[in-house]
Copies of this chain bind each other. A is one copy, B any other.
Amino acid sequence: MSSEATEETEATEATKSAPSSPDEMGVFGTFALFELGASWAELNGASRRVGAREPLEVIAAHTERVAVDGYLTVGLTERSHFLLRLHARQPEQSQAVIADLLRTRPGRHLTVRHTLTGVTRPLVYASQAPDQLQALQATEYAGGLPPRYAVVIPTRKSAAWWNLPEAKRLALMREHTAVGIEYLAKVKRRLYHATGLADADFVTWFETDDLAAFSALVARLRALREDTYNERLGAPTILGTARTLDELFTELAH
């Protein structure tokens, strides 16, 4: 599922979307899945509505250093209500946002049910395949913006994968990239390297308006030899719908 090759064109964008100035160094993405405890609903509606402004304020206070995007996951991802994706130059900056968030009135009812941290890196494989690199750079996502759906899929490769000769891995990734290119107009992707930072080697972030096409893409990727080296694929698969932070916390306050 890793899609190192298809990510290069977005590497710069990833850096941009972090509030600090873009540069060659990696941008860290932290994916935090939250569950809202039943005690929140026991507050009266007015308290909930007032309290729901607090997360917006604390996130705004970090806006120079951390870019935060929100997704509603309730009903589509078990035991969860929403996902935050945080981009920062340092994970400690994203951690500070989450710590502050948990101190707000709704935050006192939140549990971080799952969290993944990874880092964007310069392209590994596609840089050795100029034809694919060109195709990646020439193809743009053609769906609505922002896309309606986001999916997070963590993967862990087997030791056998990492022990392959690099040329072999390159050949396998070339097949992977070729499939990815076919779907670029319908499915945006971004890759984060997570080895050592989480129980995963990669966190792949997908955005799309067309979940049927997305499902077909992943099924195509599963038919590649590279997939035989995936020890973990999902677990969890996190599926959510895009929201502005204002929409998100307003919705949770209802």
Q: How far is the CA of A236 from the CA of B112 in the complex (A)?
A: 15
Q: Given the complex, which residues of B lie within 8 Å of A237, measured CB to CB? A: 196-199
Residues of B within 8 A of A170 (CB): none
Is A119 in contact with B74, judged by CB distance below 8 angstroms? no
List of B residues within 8 angstroms of A157 by Cβ: 222
Q: Report whether B75 and A119 are in contact in the complex, using a CB–CB cutoff of 8 Å.
A: no
Tell me the residues in window 196-254 of chain A with beta carbons closer than 8 Å to chain B beta carbons. Answer: 196-199, 201, 206, 211-212, 214-215, 217-219, 222-225, 227-230, 233-237, 239, 241, 251, 254
Is A159 a contact of B211 with CB atoms below 8 Å?
no
Q: Are B42's CB and A79's CB within 8 A?
A: no
A112 and B75: CB pair below 8 A?
yes
A91 within 8 A of partner (CB): yes
The A interface, classified by DSSP as helix, strand, loop or mixed, is: mixed
* A214–B215 alpha-carbon span in the complex (Å): 29
Asked if B38 and A75 sit within 8 Å, CB to CB, the answer is no
Measured between beta carbons, the chain B residues less than 8 angstroms from A108 are 38, 41-42
Chain B residues lying within 8 Å of A139, measured Cβ to Cβ, are: none
What is the total number of copies of this protein in its complex? 5
Which residues from B are CB-within-8-Å of A99? Answer: 72, 74-75, 251
Taking CB atoms and an 8 Å cut-off, the chain A residues in 68-111 that contact chain B are 72, 74-79, 90-92, 94-95, 97-99, 102-103, 108-109, 111
B interface footprint on A150-183 (CB within 8 Å = 1, 0 otherwise): 0101000101101100000000000000000000
Q: Give 9 closest A-B pairs by Cβ, nearest first.
A: A196-B218, A75-B98, A41-B108, A159-B228, A162-B222, A162-B223, A199-B234, A195-B219, A159-B227
Residues of A in contact with B (beta carbons under 8 Å apart):
25-26, 28, 30, 32, 37-39, 41-42, 72, 74-79, 90-92, 94-95, 97-99, 102-103, 108-109, 111-115, 117-119, 121, 148-149, 151, 153, 157, 159-160, 162-163, 193-199, 201, 206, 211-212, 214-215, 217-219, 222-225, 227-230, 233-237, 239, 241, 251, 254
* 20 residue pairs from A and B, CB less than 8 Å apart: A28-B211, A38-B111, A74-B98, A74-B99, A75-B98, A75-B102, A76-B91, A78-B115, A79-B113, A91-B211, A91-B239, A151-B196, A159-B222, A159-B227, A162-B227, A163-B227, A196-B237, A197-B215, A198-B234, A198-B239
Given contacts A72-B95, A78-B113, A196-B237, 4 further A-B contacts (CB under 8 A): A75-B97, A75-B99, A91-B211, A198-B239
